[in-house]
Structure 1
Amino acid sequence: MDIARELLRERYFTNLKQSDDLFVGIELELPIVHLTGDAVDFSVVVALFDEMVEKLPLSIEKTDDNGQAIQLISDDTDDRILFEVGYNTLEFAFDKADKIGQVEMRFLTYLAVIQPFLKERHHLLTGLGVNPFWDKNDNRPVASPRYEMLLAYLKLGAAREDVRVSQANYCAFIQGSRVQLEVTADNLIATLNAFNAIEPVKAWLFANSYLWNGQLETLISRDVFWEGSIHGVFPENVGVFPEAFADEAAFLDYLMKTALFTRTSDQDTYYFEPIQAVDYFNHDEIPAFDLAGNDLVLTPSPYDFNAHRSYQYQNLTARGTVECRSSCAQPMSASFSVAAFHLGLMQALPVFEALITNHAFYEDYGRDYPELRRRFSAINLSPEEVEDAAKLAQDLLDLAAIGLDKRGFGERKYLAPLYQRIETKENPATKALRLLKAGKTLSEISEIFADGKDI
């Protein structure tokens, strides 16, 4: 028996759902910006958590090493609001729901407290996939073992020739919009394959992480950071699947090429150079580091697979969900467009599969999904490329709308911003660049992307 393979099977396949009932999990990461153009004032964001506990039905769930609240939990649901990696990003991890509207209502309740508090102090929560002042902010990790380990691990890439990005702290200044879909053993592979196949058009439709004042010629810097960091040393560990999976065994073969890089317990957290799962138990010893940077040696253990995590853009989680995680954070007025898009297509999965099997887009451009994702993330697409991406996006949106209508909860409305992008042939990133060229400052663009005007 291959121990590593069985450990991965147990971790990821035992919690697959038995029912076809479709719930949705939504996670929104949003940057906090200082509208003066300076670094975020940590005293403001610290006080924000106190304000939320005082005025909302929220309780402190976690504190950092300094005793500061870093994660709040709702008294009524399993909603959580937390600092994500650093103190400049707020994440809303919503309890799973059967209706998007339930989540939206709670989100607006939270924002009604958060935004006035921040605005009074010249700060703002906005809908961009990169903090516009990333290069001015203090991007230190949240003072907790999980995040300190993560950034220390990313810094190991500085000594490696196969790491292509220099900003090891990128996780502290990029933001995404993630949706988790419950899957069964019967539809898992179809779900992974179908959503993976549309990564090129999603790149065009949801692009919103241009790296302001950076040197990256892309509208989705998040991809470059994930794939070019130490996380991407093994290409199977991140990004787009290069081809469709024939069955569960083929997908498990792929997972065997993903990496382990940490061991965690209640007492200690260690990290080490990435090792593929297939090779893990071939090591008698693993050189590692503790959070203080001290060297030590670990012996591989089955327990280590409890901390296994990979970062594919269609990611099977230990909770038995497929997490679609490639989309950038969206303008605030379109916060739930990503969830609605995926949920509607999932509702119509067999028709979705048929659509992408026969669509002219793939006849023209082929099926090198990683390369197509990069191609349609480019800043300067040709008019023909934009038109072709928009045509596929239109067909997908129409199908998603049908799927949402079938659910019967009035969720089609969340697709409206996406239809507008098809009409204008403009995604959030190109919109922001146009505003910048027209003379808007990054602070003004942040305000526009926060309040929904002109989006």
Structure 2
Amino acid sequence: MSNPGESNTTLIENRAQLVEVLARGCKPQEEWRIGTEHEKFGFRMPERARGELKPFAPPAYEPEGIGALLAALEGPEWQAIRDDGHLIGLKGAGPHKGRSISLEPAGQFELSGAPVRTLQETEQEMIAHFQQITGPARELGLGFAPLGFQPLWAREAMPWMPKSRYAIMRRYMPTVGRRGLDMMTRTCTVQVNLDFSSEADMARKMRVSLALQPLITALMANSPFAEGKPTGRLSNRAYIWLDTDNQRSGQPTFFFEEGFGFERYVDWALDVPMYFVNRDGRNVDAAGCSFRKWLDGVEQEPLAGLRPTVGDFEDHLTTLFPDVRLKQFLEMRGADAGRPDMMVAQSAFWVGLLYDPDVLAEAERVVKEQPWLTYQSLAELVVEQAMDAPFPGGLRALAKRILELAEQGLQKRGYGEEYYLAPLYEIADGAKTQAERWLERYHGVWQGDVRHIFREADISL
């Protein structure tokens, strides 16, 4: 979503303007970049917990919580983003230009990385961010753990950040799915944002990456617990997404079809119910309204007297949640947050697979060996079984074929990035996922006490 004061206020006069919003993302290959976004759960360090500040509890906005951490980081290089007077994010300047720090609904702390050329830069950016927040976090008695799902605390125990769009979503989500509030408060992901050169290139990348999201979900599975116990699922985050808001999430079938392009995505977006529009720095609750009807001049009470702008449509695009989201780049959204090396590995997987045209074409041929329905069904199967989910010929065999293609793509880039795939190769070759490793710890040395996961997953240790 655009920051206050940055929205495009051009009035929408025709549908072509909306198509142009997406088409502006087309870039020549030499300008393609990598943007990685990752979230993590904050928790109270036991030695600093006192009174109502319970050990390992998610920190509230205040006191001594997420708001104080943002304030400690604010400065010339990290400029404040406010919502109704509350500090709710930071925009990078100077050496941090292109980056931002933002909050998910329950205070999950997110770095949106700058567009960079190489995976080495992605790794360096991630390490620098962890180092940057460690000192101020420790001063506040906080740690941070990148996990796919909150392993200990119930939804009712999760705090809410003072971000106005979240208040709107909090009211609306239970009307369209059973797990939307869990998605908002108890999940963390890592995603990579990648470029395209043309509408045809975008459509090919969309088809391949959407089909393979269940594979990356399986490889990155890192959320086997909820409320202190194993759930029987290896990616509880992915399970939550199966019933969040199916009008705006998942794997829409028409994405796979020949003829898919900017116009069809715009048409889909226009029919996905709205959440809000921003006017004068304030979010107007328009949840459930139709953007298409708004464009057509149909009266909808929350939008009375307002005319739709290009910025409104751009904000609306950020409220769509398919497994691969199209804006002026493609967002890969199918992975649990995890260890730093795993999060960089996910970026390497997609860069290698999608950024060389020949490798992409071969990946498409591999994907097309199975009908699209197979991949849509796989999205439900990997939730519980990860790499052991049934797939024709075996999911590990598919993983090896795809990783070999990704490695070829990275080799052809010539930056020496292939070694970032190593953690994924290990799992494809038979090693346990991170979720399975945690379960071994839980049933072994942790003796059934899931609280140990916070210290072992802490990014500052």
Tell me how far apart the structure 2 counterparts of residues 386 and 215 of structure 1 sit (CA, whole Å). 28
Q: Please, which of 79, 104, 114 is the counterpart of residue 133 of structure 2?
A: 114
Tell me how far apart the structure 1 counterparts of residues 269 and 438 of structure 2 sit (CA, whole Å). 37
Tell me how far apart the structure 2 counterparts of residues 403 and 225 of structure 1 sit (CA, whole Å). 33
Residue 321 of structure 1 is matched in structure 2 by: 329
* Corresponding residue pairs, total: 429
3-state secondary structure, aligned to 1:326: strand
Residue 11 of structure 1 is matched in structure 2 by: 21
Residue 171 of structure 1 is matched in structure 2 by: 184
Structure 1: 5+ residue stretches without partners: 289-295
Q: Please, which of 254, 263, 288 is the counterpart of residue 274 of structure 1?
A: 288
Tell me how far apart the structure 2 counterparts of residues 172 and 393 of structure 1 sit (CA, whole Å). 31
Q: Please, which of 249, 256, 272 is the counterpart of residue 238 of structure 1?
A: 249
Residue 442 of structure 1 is matched in structure 2 by: 450
| Conserved? CA contact 2:220–2:433, under 8 Å | yes
Q: CA deviation at 1:97?
A: 0.6
Q: Please, which of 260, 263, 277 is the counterpart of residue 263 of structure 1?
A: 277
Q: CA deviation at 1:315?
A: 1.1
3-state secondary structure, aligned to 1:204: helix
Residue 73 of structure 2 is matched in structure 1 by: 52
Query: Structure 1 residues 137 and 34, CA, compared in 2 at 3 Å: closer, same or farther?
Result: farther
3-state secondary structure, aligned to 1:172: helix
Query: Is 2:390 aligned against 1:375?
Result: no
Residue 311 of structure 1 is matched in structure 2 by: 321
Tell me how far apart the structure 1 counterparts of residues 392 and 234 of structure 2 sit (CA, whole Å). 14
3-state secondary structure, aligned to 1:325: strand
Provide Cα deviations, 1:246-299, integer angstroms capped at 9, x if missing partner: 1225444444443333211234311233345555546622243xxxxxxx8566
Map 1:30-179 → 2, pairs under 5 A:
30-35=40-45, 36-40=55-59, 42=62, 43-53=64-74, 58-65=77-84, 67-68=86-87, 70-86=89-105, 88-119=107-138, 122-135=141-154, 139-143=158-162, 147-158=163-174, 160=175, 162-165=176-179, 168=181, 170-179=183-192
Tell me how far apart the structure 2 counterparts of residues 39 and 136 of structure 1 sit (CA, whole Å). 11
Query: Is 2:416 aligned against 1:416?
Result: no
Q: Percent identity?
A: 17
Structure 2: 5+ residue stretches without partners: 1-11, 46-54
CA RMSD of aligned residues (A): 3.3
Deviates more, 1:194-203 or 1:6-15: 6-15
Q: CA deviation at 1:18?
A: 4.2
Task: Tell me the TM-score normalized by structure 2.
Answer: 0.81
Q: CA deviation at 1:300?
A: 6.2
Query: Is 2:298 aligned against 1:301?
Result: no
Residue 388 of structure 1 is matched in structure 2 by: 394
Residue 292 of structure 1 is matched in structure 2 by: none
Map 1:352-363 → 2, pairs under 5 A:
352-358=360-366, 362-363=369-370
Tell me how far apart the structure 1 counterparts of residues 14 and 422 of structure 2 sit (CA, whole Å). 45
